[in-house]
């Protein structure tokens, strides 16, 4: 996927769901993975021609694994002219050593979100952008159906009352396959997750299930995505003329 196509997808999402306002200071949650780095490229480029003026800051929550090297991400941010802030935490020690969690993802995610929310408030940001793409939307819906017994998904825009921070997800129209093509085409320096639970989670199960469904039912992912956008799930009905 070319950079211009990425801009097009992201601008549609931003416009359809009114994600960005004049004067916004947006923290981009950077894990070092392909999705978050594609989002970094997208918003850094978008801010140069989008009619509303906004700032961006890249933010990574360092979970405390000793083998995480973020130097390539720092170099990319320097190249793009984006301020990069790393939040040091002991989340890995707490989750894996002290608590010895058998299913660590839920606690880790909660602590990670708490750390980034605290950091972005200190940085003066009023919004945080996460890199959930089209496949994530469908996979989250599948997880909700299988494990919660309800038809549900995160919203494109969510206001966190307690933190007074708005969460936006500008990649919701972007296919994961397009992200993979983008990082290969532009040699984006993806950082491998050091988490021992990586690749062995319920989300990974949903990811593989979706792959199998697509093999047997061409077009099923798009139909499932449309089911979400056309549903009465909170947040998905507040758009004007969404494109998908």
Higher pLDDT, 231 or 53: 53
Question: Which run of H or of E encompasses 62?
Answer: strand 54-62
Sign of CA dihedral 54, 1, 189, 78: negative
**Residue 239 domain-assigned?**
no
pLDDT of 243: 40
Long-range pairs, 48-55, Cβ under 8 A, ≥24: 50/11, 50/14, 50/20, 52/20, 52/21, 52/22, 52/24, 53/22, 53/23, 54/20, 54/21, 54/22, 54/23, 54/24, 54/25, 54/26, 55/24, 55/25, 55/26
Confidence of residue 66 (pLDDT cuts 50, 70, 90): confident
b/e code 131-161 from CB counts within 10 Å (16+ = b): bbbbbbbbbbbbbbeeeeeeebbbbbbeeee
**Residue 237 domain-assigned?**
no
Reference 18, options 159, 225, 157; nearest CA is 157
Residue 103 pLDDT greater than 80, yes or no: no
Mean pLDDT of the chain: 91
How many structural domains are present in the chain? Answer: 1
Residue 101 pLDDT greater than 80, yes or no: no
**Residue 238 domain-assigned?**
no
Question: Which run of H or of E encompasses 54?
Answer: strand 54-62
**Residue 99 domain-assigned?**
yes
Using DSSP, state whether 23 is helix, strand or coil: coil
Reference 83, options 36, 47, 123, 133; nearest CA is 123
What's the predicted TM-score (pTM) here? 0.92
**Residue 114 domain-assigned?**
yes
Residue 99 pLDDT greater than 90, yes or no: no
**Residue 195 domain-assigned?**
yes
Residue 240 pLDDT greater than 60, yes or no: no
* CATH (domain of 103): 3.40.50.620
Residue 244 pLDDT greater than 50, yes or no: no
pLDDT of 141: 96
**Residue 205 domain-assigned?**
yes
Q: What is the mean predicted confidence (pLDDT) over 31-35?
A: 95
Q: What is the mean predicted confidence (pLDDT) over 77-98?
A: 92
Domain span at residue 101 reads: 3-229
**Residue 240 domain-assigned?**
no
pLDDT of 238: 56
Q: Which two tokens stand for residue 244?
A: 């998908």
Confidence of residue 200 (pLDDT cuts 50, 70, 90): low
b/e code 188-212 from CB counts within 10 Å (16+ = b): bbbbeeebebeeeeeeeebbeebee
């Amino acid at each position: 996927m070319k950079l211009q196509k990425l801009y097009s997808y992201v601008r549609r999402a931003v416009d359809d769901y009114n994600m960005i306002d004049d004067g916004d200071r947006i923290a981009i949650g950077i894990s070092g993975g392909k999705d978050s780095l594609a989002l970094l490229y997208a918003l850094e480029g978008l801010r140069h021609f989008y009619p509303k003026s906004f700032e961006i800051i890249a933010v990574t929550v360092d979970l405390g694994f000793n083998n995480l090297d973020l130097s390539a991400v720092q170099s990319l941010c320097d190249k793009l002219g984006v301020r990069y802030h790393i939040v040091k935490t002991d989340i890995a020690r707490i989750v894996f050593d002290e608590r010895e969690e058998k299913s660590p993802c839920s606690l880790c995610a909660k602590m990670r979100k708490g750390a980034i929310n605290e950091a972005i408030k200190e940085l003066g940001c009023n919004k945080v952008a996460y890199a959930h793409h089209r496949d994530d939307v469908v996979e989250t819906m599948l997880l909700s159906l299988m494990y919660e017994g309800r038809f549900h998904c995160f919203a494109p825009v969510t206001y966190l009352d307690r933190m007074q921070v708005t969460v936006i997800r500008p990649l919701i129209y972007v296919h994961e396959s397009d992200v993979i093509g983008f990082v290969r085409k532009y040699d984006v320096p993806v950082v491998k997750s050091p988490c021992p639970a990586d690749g062995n989670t319920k989300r990974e199960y949903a990811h593989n299930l979706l792959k199998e469904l697509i093999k047997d039912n061409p077009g099923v992912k798009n139909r499932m995505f449309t089911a979400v956008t056309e549903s009465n799930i909170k947040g998905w009905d507040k758009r004007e003329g969404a494109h998908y």
